[in-house]
Structure 1
Amino acid sequence: MQLLLSTSPPTLFDADTGAKGTVPGVPGGDRLVWVQRVGHTPVVQTSPQCQADTCAPADVYAYTGPGTAPVSLGQAFSVAPGADGDSVWVIRQDSPGNCRLQHVSLAGSALGPGTVASCRTGVRQETSHGLLITVDNGTAETVDVLIDPATGRSVEQDPRILAATGDRLILGGLTDLTVVDLRDGGRAKVAPPVVQSTPYVLPNRDGSLAAVDFGTPAWHSTDIQTRDLWLLDLHDLTWQQAPSMPYTTSHLKSSGLDWSPDGDLLLDDGVVAAWHPGEPAWRLGAAKIPDAQQFPGVSTS
């Protein structure tokens, strides 16, 4: 298994041999770096260090594999995977204070002229039912909306949409989660197995399961960080705890999760671990992950 880690510049890392390399053509230095998977392609965002209200748009690249130069997708304040796995949605700056929502192929071409949007809009994920965005991101008026990107029509709106996948949305509440079926509007409340008001939710690639991390950076108001991974079956709404959970970690904010093409849940936390739902234990990579990772890595093969 290879990962693309969000160091500056991004690091290609082999989980078993420890071999490392960098992505050519992506700037390094004192920069913020994010990596996310779009279909089978890692997309990198990199920008200078900044304060939240003074951040410049990030440079965006699609990494198509060893031996090839990354494809520049221009600059954007926010980037989200397209539902087709071959494109992204971006918030592009036209001039200071003026932005637009645009659909861009991973080859770098614009798919239409785009529409006017606030520069504070955060794009998150496209499904067959619409594009999940966060409006007024980072303000007290923040709200999550699933929109039809062609018309701007609101399909669903909630203060906290934790994830969108396939035909479903997962909403966060004070004491429970709600799974919305977008086909018929049905809603089902789900009691979480752990008290945690802001879990991190990551659906798998076919939308049948969601990994839910109930970890906390301050366990019982201490400086102890914990991770507690559970799986929510999105068909029957039952829970399954991953093996060896919960555990303490010093990498909660800099480690990440991803799902592999064959349905393994991947965790990078010092080393790379893989677990297929139903297996009794995690499989551990042999090599230690390099230090200085800023944000989660993603699988590249």
Structure 2
Amino acid sequence: MGDRGKTLNGPVIRARAAVLAASLVLAGCTAESASPAPEASATPPTGLAGLAATGGIGVRLALPTSPPAVFDADTGELAPLKGVPGGQRRTSLLRVGATLVLLDAPLCSARCEPSDVHVYPDLLGRPRSLGTTRSAAPGADRDSLWLIREDGQDTCRLQHVALSGKPFGPGTTASCHTVVRQETAQGLLIRVNGDGAQSEDVLIDPQTGRTLQQFPRIMAIAGDRLLLGGLIDFTVLDLRDRSRRQLARPVPNGSSNALPSRDGRLVAVEFVDPAWRGSSTQTRDLWLLDLDTATWRHLPATPYASPSGLKKSGLDWTDAGDLVLADAVVGAWHPGEAAWRLGRARPPAEFGQGVVAL
């Protein structure tokens, strides 16, 4: 970048050619260590919707339907959650340990209202209210939440609250535009200016607010490692020794989202393309990144054309280590299996993005 606009002489050109050749050799070595990307076909595969149901997958999902409900993928039973107002609402779900937490608010008009926090110690019972928040994330102890509380119209605070409702102190001043994402033993992951175009991901010490790591995009925090997203590649940063390992993308196109497994060893990375080959077809492609070996594995029956649209789907991990996908069907897949196991019942046609495996 510093040589842009300058005249390059012969030695500089030859030196850069040598660097380029070496880079190509290294890129070739990297490609051999990763699973190769599948060849593009003229028609995207139908994916899970084209496979036969197996049944007996033992998966129950909390779905952000209207009203939110618990869905049994084997029987088709749909049990609405109690204590949630009816009608069209803005809802999101998260899991804290083994407990379901629901955030619920009116649809946004001129200004988005904070969400009511509902905690479900018993899925069949009425929830415990933890007040309101602009953002929520699970605590590392699996029994608490980090919340962005409103103090006034334009002021907020970061507060740590037990699922019982007990606050751990008064909290600290924070921007109302901060989004809390996840806490691990390495710190609290937040997104600064989370509702703006110039957001930044930051890992902080939640007790002091001190910045530990800061990047334009931290895709996931898994145990002691961060998965960083770049324009053309990914980087795994080990927080224990600050070592870095760069990884090529397994596919060239599509925006990506990442979801670490509950044990922190694996990350499911979803590549979505809202306009496959310039068409109106929306596709989803799923890859598994092993953080210990820094290798990719392509999940079976992907990529595929999503019949329900990219905004009506969800991924989550179970305690048993199964990756669960909810789309037009519900499928469960354990790393190493040759195929998905599909529930006999199809989920409701309309549910928002994000699901929780129970």
What range describes the TM-score normalised by the shorter chain of this pair? over 0.9
Query: Would you say the 8 A contact 1:172–1:198 is kept in 2?
Result: no
| 1:48 equivalent among 106, 127, 138 | 106
Decide whether aligned partners of structure 1 residues 197 and 180 sit closer, same or farther in structure 2, where only a CA change above 3 A counts.
Answer: farther
**Whole-angstrom CA distance in 2 between matches of 1:155 and 1:271:** 41
**Whole-angstrom CA distance in 2 between matches of 1:285 and 1:267:** 11
**Whole-angstrom CA distance in 2 between matches of 1:57 and 1:130:** 25
**Whole-angstrom CA distance in 1 between matches of 2:181 and 2:280:** 30
Residues 162-201 of structure 1 deviation map (CA, whole Å, 9 limit, x = unaligned): 1111000011101000110000111111111112463100
Q: Are 2:259 and 1:217 equivalent residues in the alignment?
A: no
Q: 1:250 — aligned with what?
A: 307
Note the 1:82-97 alignment, pairs <5 A.
82-97=139-154
Q: 1:66 — aligned with what?
A: 123
Amino acid at match of 2:220: A
Residues 218-250 of structure 1 deviation map (CA, whole Å, 9 limit, x = unaligned): 212221111110000001100000111111013
**Whole-angstrom CA distance in 2 between matches of 1:291 and 1:11:** 13
Identity %: 54
Q: 2:222 — aligned with what?
A: 165
Aligned length: 299
Q: Are 2:96 and 1:18 equivalent residues in the alignment?
A: no
Of stretches 131-140 and 91-100 in structure 1, the one that deviates more from structure 2 is 131-140
Q: 1:31 — aligned with what?
A: 89
| 1:150 equivalent among 185, 202, 207 | 207
Q: Are 2:334 and 1:298 equivalent residues in the alignment?
A: no
Q: 2:336 — aligned with what?
A: 278
**Whole-angstrom CA distance in 1 between matches of 2:295 and 2:301:** 19
More helix by share: 2
Q: TM-score, normalised by structure 1?
A: 0.96
Note the 1:71-220 alignment, pairs <5 A.
71-196=128-253, 198-220=255-277
Query: Would you say the 8 A contact 1:77–1:119 is kept in 2?
Result: yes
**Whole-angstrom CA distance in 2 between matches of 1:225 and 1:65:** 37
**Whole-angstrom CA distance in 1 between matches of 2:189 and 2:215:** 11
Residues 276-298 of structure 1 deviation map (CA, whole Å, 9 limit, x = unaligned): 01000000001010122112221
- Deviation at residue 36 of structure 1 after TM alignment: 1.4
Higher RCO by CA contacts (8 Å cutoff, separation 6 or greater): 2
Residues 71-122 of structure 1 deviation map (CA, whole Å, 9 limit, x = unaligned): 1121001011111111110101011001000011111221111000000000
| SS of alignment partner, residue 75 of structure 2 | coil
More strand by share: 1
Q: Name structure 1 gaps, 5 residues minimum.
A: none
| SS of alignment partner, residue 220 of structure 1 | helix
Amino acid at match of 1:248: A
**Whole-angstrom CA distance in 1 between matches of 2:156 and 2:303:** 42
Q: TM-score, normalised by structure 2?
A: 0.81
Amino acid at match of 1:256: G
How large is the RMSD of aligned CA atoms in angstroms?
1.2
- Deviation at residue 39 of structure 1 after TM alignment: 1.3
**Whole-angstrom CA distance in 2 between matches of 1:275 and 1:197:** 22
| 1:234 equivalent among 277, 291, 295 | 291
